[in-house]
Structure 1
Amino acid sequence: MVSLICTLHDHRDDVNWCVFSASLLATCSADKTIRVYSTRDFSELPFSPLSGHGYVVHCCSFSPCGQYLASCSTDATTVIWLMDSGEIEAVLEHPGRSPVRVCAFSPDSVHLVSGASDGTLALWDFTTRSLLRTGGVTDTTLVACSFSPCGQLFVSGSTYGDLRVWNLELRQLHAEKNAHDLGVTCCQFAPQMQKGSGGNVTEFRLASCGQDSLLKIWSISHMPSTGCKMQLLRTLTGQTAPVLSCSFSADGQMLVSGSVDKSITVYEASQGTLLYTLSQHERYVTACAFSPTAPLIATGSMDKSVNVWRVEDGCGTLEAKFLPGEEAASSAGRREGEKMAGHSRLMASDWSEDDVSSWLREEGLDVLVDVFKANNIDGLELLALNKDILTTDLKIESVGLRGKLIRKIEELKMESMCTGVPDEYLCPITHELMRDPVIAADGYSYECEAIQSWIRTKNRSSPMTNLPLQTTLLTPNHTLKMAISRWKTSH
């Protein structure tokens, strides 16, 4: 039995990835943030959200010890975060400055690999935070990557539909060129490995999913002297639309996947038997992950939510180490309910001084209520605050307090801007409401400043198709600008 124990509603845009460490859950989103929760009660950590990326965050990965979190973004960087403080420990700039779509740690924490929209792979020495070597394939986007349990191999998957096995020299050992028709979306090794017949052959299990609506289980045999052999074991057809994510349980006995058909499927991995089909998300299920230490599954969606599920059986000897379902669910209900205070039904710019005070208390900023009241700060003035005003005019001396307030105001702006906004009014690069939309050579509309910056730094590739832009000419989209203006007036 699988039961829903908690729903997290903190992200303001599509959830792109979720991952567990032994004690934490991290999620990342098109809203440019990463959020981190304790798996004890699914409360958000004090330093969350993490806001260091300039564009969409596509993937995040915990180091095996859980001390570090890596996140990668359209801004062409992989950021390393410290999990005891939430501070940035390192910023790794991808070679070629192409958008980074996926990142993964090796099981021994020695290596980190990142894959980008131009098909390049970057292998990093994580101990020194330095680039070891680059490789990859051309004319495709790398969207999936997973290290083998031994840490000596990793597999990449691309929008071209291929799965490729690499060693740490970035030498390609095997290419399965038609693994998924129309493109791979995710891949993950099972945590276990075993010795094959003959003694010097190591065998692994790999799950992959793709735009062909299929989830596949592969056997990969590795012999140092002769290379790799890859064999398809099972094809699972439990979902009716592209499968966007997959994950093995810690014991390798179960496999979960999420799909465009809004469903989550849970399989018994060895035989491919469908155990459960879950349907709680309102839009595409883009991310799923098993906890390594407890019978928990996290799923993320384009509905901006993250669901946490408890698996009642089938998880071997794992013992639950989390809040009972009823208490977690009521806690989640309280958190969602807290956002339904009277002021939240208004646009933030229309808030009264009392509404601002209520918001401060909800966000744990009670110490600022008297200061804001003394300065008659209403909603419009709240949105205009910056670090200089907080320091000079409001005399808020604590750097940490100023930083937290600014982050909360930015979240408020994002929520006010993006709630109910038609997708076509949002820039595909910034995911913010466009002020000056222009049409690029790929036929898509973008915020003018954002696409100009993109063209200067991304080798003239299209943010939407990754194909070369035939020209850098940008044409003002007056019709779209008028439509956005009418929408803003009516809302």
Structure 2
Amino acid sequence: GVSFSPDGQTIASASFDATVKLWRRDGRLLTTLTGHNAPVTGVSFSPDGQTITSASLDHTVKLWRRDGRLLTTLTRHKAPVAGFSFDPDEQTVDSASNEATGKPWRPDGSLIFTLTGHQAPIFGGVTFSPDGQTIASASVDKTVKLWRRDGTLITTLTGHNAAVIGVTFSPDGQTIASASHDKTVKLWRRDGTLITTLTGHSDLVNSVTFSPDEQAIASASNDATVKLWRRDGTLITTLTGHQTVVSSVSFSPDGQTIASTSWDHTVKLWRRDGSLMTTLTGHNTPVHGVSFSPDGQMLASTSIDGKVILWNFNLDDLLRRGCSWAREYLKNPNNGMSKDDHTRQICDDL
């Protein structure tokens, strides 16, 4: 797992080596958060950027200060923690476990209540609606459950024929998308009624996400494709190019770029029309996580060998860096360039 802080200046990465590492944007290591006793499955910053939450197979969730000091450990789970989500108002952290429960916690680490009702592990994790009033949980029991903030069950979304491993709200909070091993994505109204089923993938679906403008939905599948759908469920296009499982998909903050990660060791960037922009190579093992910085100028990707790669899309910054390396060469009178070659002045104003 990998996550940018809200101000975009710090990156947190979670690893199977049981640590979380915090990095500066230039790639320098800030600190390592140690304390978990098993692989760390996810990491995220709070909306205000001051608290870091990590989930682990050691059955715990830990809350850390931004300087790396441990705030508290949430220890009421009896099985590995599969995921968590921050309430938008920052008053609650909700965690999901392989014991088939969800647990909302106060920032001080005290348990508010336990969401019970699923019949199998909540591998699909939990997520808050944008207004913070509803919690959605996705489970291997083939269902999504919607809960009020006080822990009462609103409704159960039934219709999938296999494990549900992903759930997300649309930015306006009115639509829920669920991704399943039954090879489909389902769209639901907030009252729990089914809107439509997105069919077309030939293998299980790993990830689903809405574009920021809510007009497109992207799904990633084991069939080596990403599919883009309209909100009414019609297929826009299929992004083909990966050689094997596509593990995750994400829109850039402006919604114009789509990043997909794959077990073929690559990250691919696509335009909104589905055309391939570029393939980012550098990982040597399957890539399983990707996150855009809030300003869209940087991308972080993680692979199962513990490597985090930061990709810089800021052309002005790249030009400044290039000129810092080339300026002295350009000024050298013996570099073989003529005095009238305008290339010598390319860095003069930077």
TM-score over 0.5 for the pair: yes
The offset of 1:62, in angstroms, is: 2.1
Partners of 1:310 and 1:25 lie apart in 2 by: 22
The alignment's TM-score, normalised by the length of structure 2, stands at 0.70
Q: Does 2:217 match 1:206?
A: yes
The offset of 1:206, in angstroms, is: 1.1
Q: Does 2:111 match 1:88?
A: yes
The offset of 1:213, in angstroms, is: 1.2
Aligned to 1:263: 266
Look up the equivalent residue of 1:289 and give its one-letter code.
S
* Structure with more of its chain in strand, by fraction: 2
Moved more, 157-166 or 246-255: 246-255
Aligned to 1:62: 86
Across the aligned residues of Structure 1 and Structure 2, the Cα RMSD in angstroms comes to 3.2
- How far does the alpha carbon of each residue in 1:91-125 deviate from its partner, in whole angstroms, 9 at most, with x for none? 212x1432112222111111111111111211011
Q: Which runs of 5+ in 2 are unaligned?
A: 1-24, 316-350
Look up the equivalent residue of 2:240 and give its one-letter code.
T
The offset of 1:217, in angstroms, is: 1.9
Whether the 8 Å CA contact 2:268–2:276 is kept in 1: the answer is: no
Which structure has more RCO (C-alpha within 8 Å, separation ≥ 6)?
A: 1
The offset of 1:168, in angstroms, is: 1.4
Aligned to 2:207: 186
Match of 1:105 among 123, 128, 142: 128
Q: Does 2:48 match 1:47?
A: no
Match of 1:143 among 149, 157, 165: 165
Equivalent residue runs for 1:52-451 within 5 Å: 52-83=76-107, 85-93=108-116, 95-102=117-124, 103-126=126-149, 128-137=150-159, 139-178=161-200, 180-193=201-214, 204-220=215-231, 229-280=232-283, 283-292=285-294, 295=297, 297-303=299-305, 305=306, 307=308, 309=310, 311-313=312-314
Whether the 8 Å CA contact 1:15–1:301 is kept in 2: the answer is: no
Whether the 8 Å CA contact 1:18–1:287 is kept in 2: the answer is: no
Whether the 8 Å CA contact 1:19–1:289 is kept in 2: the answer is: no
Aligned to 2:15: none
- How far does the alpha carbon of each residue in 1:325-346 deviate from its partner, in whole angstroms, 9 at most, with x for none? xxxxxxxxxxxxxxxxxxxxxx
Partners of 1:208 and 1:185 lie apart in 2 by: 7
Look up the equivalent residue of 1:190 and give its one-letter code.
S
- How far does the alpha carbon of each residue in 1:223-273 deviate from its partner, in whole angstroms, 9 at most, with x for none? xxxxxx212223223432211112223222332222222333343445543
Measured at CA, do residues 266 and 68 of structure 1 come closer, stay the same or move farther in structure 2, by a change above 3 Å?
farther
3-state SS in 2 of match to 1:250: coil
Query: Quick check: which has more Rg, 1 or 2?
Result: 1
The offset of 1:12, in angstroms, is: 5.9
Measured at CA, do residues 96 and 147 of structure 1 come closer, stay the same or move farther in structure 2, by a change above 3 Å?
closer
Look up the equivalent residue of 1:218 and give its one-letter code.
W
Measured at CA, do residues 71 and 96 of structure 1 come closer, stay the same or move farther in structure 2, by a change above 3 Å?
closer
- How far does the alpha carbon of each residue in 1:362-402 deviate from its partner, in whole angstroms, 9 at most, with x for none? xxxxxxxxxxxxxxxxxxxxxxxxxxxxxxxxxxxxxxxxx
Partners of 1:77 and 1:167 lie apart in 2 by: 23
Measured at CA, do residues 249 and 104 of structure 1 come closer, stay the same or move farther in structure 2, by a change above 3 Å?
same
% identical aligned pairs: 26
* Structure with more of its chain in helix, by fraction: 1
The alignment's TM-score, normalised by the length of structure 1, stands at 0.52
Partners of 1:4 and 1:256 lie apart in 2 by: 20
Measured at CA, do residues 104 and 265 of structure 1 come closer, stay the same or move farther in structure 2, by a change above 3 Å?
same
Look up the equivalent residue of 2:264 and give its one-letter code.
D
The offset of 1:207, in angstroms, is: 1.2
3-state SS in 1 of match to 2:291: strand
